[in-house]
Amino acid sequence: MALDLFSLEGRVALITGGSRGIGKMIAKGFIDQGAKVYISSRKAPACLETAEELGPNCIALPQDVSTVDGVKALAAAYLSKEPKLDILVNNAGAAWGAPFDEFPESGWDKVVDLNLKSPFFLTQALHGALKAAASRDQPAKVINICSIDGIRLNPQETYSYHASKSGLIYLTRRMAARLIEDAINVTAIAPGAFASEMNRVARDQGEEVAKRIPSRRIGRDEDMAAAAIYLASRAGDYVVGETIAVDGGVALASMGGL
């Protein structure tokens, strides 16, 4: 077995929403494994600050990818610097909670556009760069960051978030079926409770949240990095279209499996 099974040496990655939270966890993990990583986020100062923190192999490409125009602008900015792309991580996301009778159209469109539409159109815009990097011996990778809320319900009235993340899981399968023709593997990760700006409950009440998780803890940075490294590296080259739940057993518990 190759000793460098999890190495990303010489690979180039682009991570949306890479300045904080799960995107930053993945960016650091990729860099530690030898990758050159471009991170994008809507807030330029945060993006630049994180790139400086993560070192010379992290490059900031600030961009709002909530619209197709923004997606195309990010793709153009990336392609002005690199001719090929080994790994694309579609991580940028948003959530919205409101009671059923009050749930607004703005809370639907913002979340579904960013969580579901943008990953498709960014992958489409970078299809040529991914194909240029891909071979049967070393496929290019697209990793969509979904959520266990796309697998099981949580108690919150986050209608568009649930729908978008469930849709992204199935979109992953549909894109995987097409892009494997070009030696591009599309997969997904469905995180559970990780401390982040989006999951402030896990961030601020981690010990309480841990009581409801079969593993009795919330996710750590290395848990998320490890799953992404597995899919991005040689170790995950034969995984196509699958979604890996990284949640400490929550999804199984909610289905009666634990």
Residues designated as active site: 161
CA distance between the termini of the chain = 34
Within the chain, residue ranges assigned H as helices are 21-32, 44-54, 68-79, 105-112, 118-125, 127-133, 159-179, 200-204, 206-210, 221-232, 250-254
Torsion over CA: 251, 252, 255, 258 (sign): negative
Euclidean distance between CA atoms 153 and 80, whole angstroms: 41
CB 248 within 8 A of CB 214: yes
DSSP string, 168-210: HHHHHHHHHHHHGGGTEEEEEEEE-SB-SSS-HHHHHSHHHHH
Euclidean distance between CA atoms 240 and 177, whole angstroms: 8
According to DSSP, the β-strands at 140-145 and 184-191 are: parallel
Closest to 112 in 3D by CA, of 99, 89, 94, 92: 94
Q: Please name the residues in contact with 238: beta carbons below 8 A apart, sequence gap of 6 or more.
A: none
CB 93 within 8 A of CB 198: yes
